[in-house]
Amino acid sequence: MRLFVSSPLLPLMLLGLGLAGHPTAQAENVYLLSLAGGVTPRYEGSRDYQPVVLPVIAAEFDNGVFLNPLEGLGYRTQFSHGVFASVALGYDDGRSDEDRYLLPGSDHLKGMGDVPGSTLVLLQIGVRLPGDLSLSATLDQPITETGRGWGGRVDLAGPVWSKPSNQISLTGSVHAGSDRYAQTFFGVTDRQAANSRFDAYTPRGGVDSLRLTIDWTHVFTPHWMVKTTGGVSRLVGDAADSPIVQSKENYLAMTALVYRF
């Protein structure tokens, strides 16, 4: 699994579980402990899925510091007119050419070699909109293994139904990457083509995927809640035409029992 990163697919489940920092200021320190389970694709564009069960820890502090699996370790600040910004350090586990539990990879990619993990700087800026909507843009810039290229996304999130014990929200996302990013995750070099079942392919950077998630939170007590998410993503552009892509659509479903203190 790609921990401490906001790049595509597997971290999406943690976004849906609501464990990412909220763009509004915190009046107190908040800690979350969770046990999450569900199913996710083996890699972006895979037709195979794997079960996932894992503990999750997140924290948000009243001084703006946060720690969570989606956004990493960072600092968020508020400005006037609902504008917010954050900077964080994260890590992406890359991708393997063999099946790995909790980590992106598939035997279908045999011969492609591994995409090495990378430490990232995550830069985000956003604004609160009327209707409790939140619009944000996030850039993932690698500071190790920089040859993999940069990625980024734009998110629009907001509630669709809210009661004291139940809340449902939607998040729409558009992801894009540089030419190097497209080559790393969707391209096939001549050497990879010689070692694998795939033809050589050189994609261009740009928008590569669209995503929609729905998140349901049921609150039992001030400390206990269940968070469930369902999501669908679709590859577009050159990414969708990659020979390593088995399915342009990917789905995920996750549920977590969360203790807040």
pLDDT digits over 79-93, tens only? 999 999 999 999 999
> What CA–CA distance (Å, rounded) separates 235 from 37?
25
- The pLDDT score that the predictor gives to residue 27 is 62
Distance of CA 7 to CAs 26, 120, 143, Å?
Answer: 25, 10, 15
Q: Name which of 114, 99, 105, 112 is nearest 195 in CA terms.
A: 112
Whole-number percent of the chain with pLDDT over 90 = 84
- CA atoms 58, 62, 66, 71: torsion sign: positive
Taking residues 141-153, report their average pLDDT: 96
Taking residues 157-181, report their average pLDDT: 96
Query: pLDDT grade, residue 7 (50/70/90)?
Result: very low
Q: What's the N-to-C CA distance of the chain in angstroms?
A: 26
Confidence check: pLDDT of 139 > 60? yes
Confidence check: pLDDT of 1 > 60? no
Instruction: Go through the domains of the chain in sequence order and give each one's CATH number.
Output: 10-260 (2.40.160.40)
- The pLDDT score that the predictor gives to residue 10 is 47
- The pLDDT score that the predictor gives to residue 4 is 43
3-state secondary structure the chain: CCCCCCCCCHHHHHHHCCCCCCCCCCCCCEEEEEEEEEEEECCCCCCCEEEEEEEEEEEECCCCEEEECCCEEEEEEECHHHEEEEEEEEEECCEECCCCCCCCECHHHCCCCCECCEEEEEEEEEEEEHHHEEEEEEEEEECCCHHHCCEEEEEEEEEEEECCCEEEEEEEEEEEECHHHHHHHHCECHHHHHHCCCCCECCCCEEEEEEEEEEEEEECCCCEEEEEEEEEEEECHHHHCCCCCCCCEEEEEEEEEEEEC
- The pLDDT score that the predictor gives to residue 247 is 97
Work out the number of other CB atoms within 10 angstroms of the CB of residue 53.
10
Residue range 188-239, pLDDT digits in tens: 999 999 999 999 999 999 999 999 999 999 999 999 999 999 999 999 999 9
Confidence check: pLDDT of 12 > 80? no
- The pLDDT score that the predictor gives to residue 8 is 42
Query: pLDDT grade, residue 145 (50/70/90)?
Result: very high
187 token code pair: 């391209």
Taking residues 62-84, report their average pLDDT: 92
- The pLDDT score that the predictor gives to residue 137 is 98
- Residue pointed to by tokens 């998410």: 229
Confidence check: pLDDT of 20 > 70? no
